Amino acid sequence: MTTCAECLTALSTMRLSEIPRGSPIEQHYSTCENCSRIAADLQYAEHKLALALSEFGSSMPPSVVAEEAIVGAAKLRRRNAAKWFRRGLFAFGALLLGTYVVEKRNVAPNAEISTEMVIPKCTAPEDAIAIVTPYLRSSGSAVYSGRNAKFITLRGVHREVENAISYLDQYEAQFCSLPGPGKDVIPSADILKKD
């Protein structure tokens, strides 16, 4: 069974003379009160257009002019749809750009990058790097030591660098004061993993 929406779509894209006799569209607008009113209006409009064009004295037959008008209307409808699609795409892109700018603006004041140099008291630089690395999570953060150096350099967001240094101090306070044979023994990073 043809619905009113299907019938109106066919009526908006075809002339009444192009709709085959006995087709589901013709049967629908013959029985549906709303669609038959629209079909009658379209038939009247087509007739008036044909009369006006015949009086105008066009070199083209009225049926060709009416057909070109329908095709032109369909093209105009597609152009309008494309224009609105481009506008929607532009608005979506502007929304994405605005969101990106707002996020970057919110992150920038809080993300003060700092660089600190730390000399571990009793921990080897490699172990100290293993201890502080989990605390430096932001992008661009790094921890490194020079060749044969007794210090490490931490770079990252100020808050993360402070937390990493604080944890390294706590670690050394706990393990550097342990009594035992050979006070020169340096605790390894494996002890940290067991905590």
Q: What is the pLDDT along the chain (195 residues), one digit of tens a residue?
A: 778 888 888 888 888 888 888 888 888 888 888 888 888 888 888 888 888 777 766 577 777 878 888 888 888 899 999 999 999 999 999 999 998 888 776 554 445 788 888 888 888 888 888 889 888 888 778 888 877 778 888 888 888 889 999 999 998 888 877 554 444 444 444 444 444
Q: Which residue shows structure tokens 């996020």?
A: 103
- Asked whether the CA dihedral 14, 19, 23, 24 is positive or negative, the reply is positive
Tokens encoding 145:
């030591």
Q: Taking the domains of the chain in order of start, what are their residue ranges?
A: 4-56, 111-194
* Whole-number Å distance between alpha carbons of 128 and 118: 9
**Who's near 65: CB < 8 A, 6+ residues apart?**
49, 53, 58
Q: Which fold has domain 111-194?
A: Ribosomal Protein S8; Chain: A, domain 1 (3.30.1370)
Contact status, residue 98 vs residue 112, Cβ threshold 8 Å: no
Helices marked H in 111-157: 125-132
Angle between helices 24-31 and 33-56 (to 10 degrees): 110
Residues in the chain, total: 195
pTM: 0.37
